[in-house]
Amino acid sequence: MFIPFHIAWKEIRGYFSSWIAYVLCAGWLLLSGLTFVSLLGAAAQGAPFSLVPLYQNLIIVFLFLTPLLTMRLLAEERATGTLELLFTSPLTPWQVTMGKWLGALAFCAVLLLLTLYFPLFVGQYGALDAGPVWGSSIALICLAAAFCAFGVFCSSLCDSQIVAGFLTFGGLLVSWMLAWPAATAPDNRLAAVAAQFSVFPHFARMLGGAIDTQDLIFFASLSFFFLFATTRVLESRQWK
């Protein structure tokens, strides 16, 4: 079997053999379900119905969820000494990093599958606009890929899961907030530059169903950058 998939599969089994997977799934379903119900309520009042606000809200859920998902991936291996097992096996840092990242990403994909019932439900009882659903799904996967890459990176930095989790959460929060100055001061150049580094505008554009290559490249390069940084951190252990 392809080694990264083997490591990813172990991570997925790890999630489901502890409480974390069930707690996260339950929280995810609860929060997305509440949003869905409130959207239906608004539509019943006569507001135009769209699933986009629902997916837009999920970015906040991802903000909280990613640190919980990724904090243990490498920090725990460092703390318990199993990193020694991985790196005295014939594995490259890329294989280990990819395995961890794919594991976390696959779990996010499971969460997204759980929200499939929204479009199915809407399609059953009304007219479904498929574009935003596709766009949002792709946007959420891209977002999850970048968030997980950042989480894996933070987890590679320290032995403590808690510290790794807080680092991840802090970093993601900052990346979200980078878009705010541009919203209040549209003429400020610095604010415009900062907004380019925020995930939010890219995410928001994709949500509507407009998949632009620049947004895809943004998320791909963000993911690649942090995965690459992780491999460097893992390699640096040799020289300490």
Partner 1 sequence: MIEVESLSKIYGASHAVEEVSFAVGEGEIVGFLGPNGAGKTTTMRILSCFMAPSSGSARIAGFDILHNSLEVRRSIGYLPENAPLYGEMSVRDYLSYVAVLRGVPKAQRAVRLEAALDAGKLEERADTLIRKLSKGYRQRVGIAQAIVHDPPVLILDEPSSGLDPRQRAETRHFIKSLAPQRTVLLSTHILPDVQETCSRVIVINAGRIVAQDAVENLAAGASGLSLVLARPAPDASEKLSRVAGVAGVRREPDGAFSLDLAGQNDAREEIAQLCVAENWGLLELSRRRANLEEVFLKLTTSD
Q: How far is the CB of 99 from partner 1 (least distance, A)?
A: 10
The one segment of 47-55, 79-87, 117-125, 216-224 that binds partner 1 by CB under 8 A: 79-87
- Which residue of 43, 61, 68, 87 would you call a contact of partner 1, by CB under 8 A? 87
The one segment of 128-136, 169-177, 190-198, 231-239 that binds partner 1 by CB under 8 A: 231-239
- Hey, what amino acid is at 125? Y
> Measured from the CB atom, is 7 or 179 closer to partner 1?
7
> Measured from the CB atom, is 36 or 101 closer to partner 1?
101
- Cβ-Cβ contacts under 8 Å for 223 (sequence gap 6 or more): 101, 145, 146, 148, 149
- Which residue of 29, 40, 68, 86 would you call a contact of partner 1, by CB under 8 A? 86
**Distance (Å, rounded) from C-alpha 107 to C-alpha 109?**
5
Q: Would you count residue 127 as binding partner 1 (CB under 8 A)?
A: no
Q: Would you count residue 91 as binding partner 1 (CB under 8 A)?
A: yes
Number of chain residues interacting with partner 1 (CB under 8 A): 25
Q: Would you count residue 89 as binding partner 1 (CB under 8 A)?
A: yes
Cβ distance 155 to 233 under 8 Å? no
Cα 213 → chain centroid: 19
Q: Which residues, 3 to 32, sit near partner 1 by CB under 8 A?
A: 3, 6-7, 10, 14, 17-18
CA-wise closest residue to 6 among 107, 73, 95, 90 = 95
The one segment of 42-50, 83-91, 160-168, 213-221 that binds partner 1 by CB under 8 A: 83-91
- Which residue of 44, 45, 48, 88 would you call a contact of partner 1, by CB under 8 A? 88
- Which residue of 85, 183, 185, 192 would you call a contact of partner 1, by CB under 8 A? 85
Q: Which residues bind partner 1 (CB under 8 A)?
A: 1, 3, 6-7, 10, 14, 17-18, 80-92, 237-240
